Amino acid sequence: MSIEILMPALSPTMEEGTLAKWHVKTGDTVESGMVIAEIETDKATMEVEAVDEGVVGKILVDEGAEGVKVNEVIAILLEEGETEVFAPAEGGGSGPAKGRVEGGASKASETAPVPSPAPKPAASAPSVGKADISPASGGEKDGGDRIKASPLARRIAADKGLDLAAIDGSGPHGRIVKRDVENAQPSEAPSKATEAPASAAPVDLDDPLKAYGIARDRYEVEKADNITKISAKRLSESFRDIPHFPLNVDCRIDALLDFRKRVNAAAEKDGAKVSVNDILIKASALALKKVPAANSSWIEGGHIARHKHADVSVAVAIEGGLITPIVKDADQKGLVEISREMKDLAARAREKKLKPE
């Protein structure tokens, strides 16, 4: 049957987007997983892949069209042997495909088109199905039925180790959406072939950071309130789903350089020389002490570890990449001590004599 290709939702808040580019044209053969278009939102431009196979019967939305609503039909895909292009008519029901593209295939008439000759007797007019296009490859239900799910639902399901075939969709036409995946529970008795790895053991709140080599007397544990839990969840989703980019600013550091000159003059008798980097390490440590929320770690299960000391890691370039040795208790150390320790750490890092921490 003819398949409608719909405008996908690329984020939970997306309502419309721009069809930036078509990678196919009418008459092209489409295979599952093939990139067919590029969709642009206010956050990113993403390639979308076809879930179904067939031949492009008609493109309904022009390349470059703006304000295309989510779930709007943007193209029609014909299965093998089909020659008529059908889509829902404006007044409901089925009729010849109509859309933003005025040229191209023959114009739609108000009367139903005459079916083309078919080798099978009593051939009925093709019905119209729905097809998802997604940035991720789609799966299949048992029996070969396509799983209809939004791109975000697919990503969350993959992160949670959920089988989309076992989830009922509550979106349009039974489509699986974000809330369906979030409300789904992992199967209690998965088969051996699909059994997921055992979940991590419950966090020991008596010593939750033991695995990271952090002594228990160096932090305090407190229970997070509901607002903090929700904020943590939303920030994690944002970091995972939304593209990030760095920002650079120029700083006037005349006062810092003057301060460094005076420090080095006083430390000259000890043979020490403080760098700008050493001063930044100390400043970062003092800032962490001044803002305890920034000097904290999230513990699975809804708890927060508030660190009593400020440890600062510093990137050191070595052959083959970067390593980040840690200046511990930087808030309690002087600039000369930090300078000497940093020189020692950098030398050991380049000689590959540092132990992982």
Same domain, 269 and 222: yes
Other CB atoms closer than 10 Å to residue 45's CB: what's the count?
14
Question: 296 — phi, psi (to 5°)?
Answer: -135, 160
Same domain, 173 and 297: no
Question: Looking at the domain assignment, is residue 241 inside a domain?
Answer: yes
Question: Looking at the domain assignment, is residue 214 inside a domain?
Answer: yes
Same domain, 176 and 76: yes
Task: Note the Cα 70 to chain centre separation in Å.
Answer: 19
Place of tokens 């380049």: 350
Question: Looking at the domain assignment, is residue 99 inside a domain?
Answer: yes
Same domain, 77 and 219: no
Question: Looking at the domain assignment, is residue 204 inside a domain?
Answer: no
User: What percentage of residues in the chain have a pLDDT greater than 70?
Assistant: 71
CATH of the domain at 15: 2.40.50.100
Same domain, 165 and 222: no
Same domain, 236 and 304: yes
Same domain, 229 and 274: yes
Mean pLDDT, residues 333-354 taken together = 90
User: What percentage of residues in the chain have a pLDDT greater than 90?
Assistant: 25
Same domain, 229 and 140: no
Taking only the tens place, the pLDDT of each residue in 51-97 is 778 899 999 999 989 889 988 999 998 877 676 665 444 434 334 33
Side chain identity at 140, as an amino acid letter? Answer: E
Question: Looking at the domain assignment, is residue 202 inside a domain?
Answer: no
Mean pLDDT, residues 338-345 taken together = 93
Supply 335's token pair.
């600039």
More confident residue, 31 or 135: 31
CATH of the domain at 225: 3.30.559.10
The count of domains in the chain is 2
Same domain, 173 and 216: no
More confident residue, 196 or 63: 63
pLDDT of 146 reads: 65
Other CB atoms closer than 10 Å to residue 137's CB: what's the count?
10
Query: Interhelix angle for 335-350 vs 276-290, to 10°?
Result: 110
Taking only the tens place, the pLDDT of each residue in 247-300 is 899 999 999 999 999 999 998 888 889 999 999 999 999 999 999 999 998 887
Question: Looking at the domain assignment, is residue 87 inside a domain?
Answer: yes
CA distance 236 to 243: 13
Question: Looking at the domain assignment, is residue 113 inside a domain?
Answer: no
Same domain, 62 and 169: yes
Residue 345 has pLDDT above 70, yes or no: yes
pLDDT of 230 reads: 81
Q: Which residues span the domain enclosing 173?
A: 2-104+124-183
Same domain, 174 and 218: no
Same domain, 215 and 92: no
Strand order in the sheet with 45-50: 68-69, 16-22, 35-40, 45-50, 133-134
pLDDT confidence band for 327 (50 / 70 / 90):
very high
Question: Looking at the domain assignment, is residue 109 inside a domain?
Answer: no
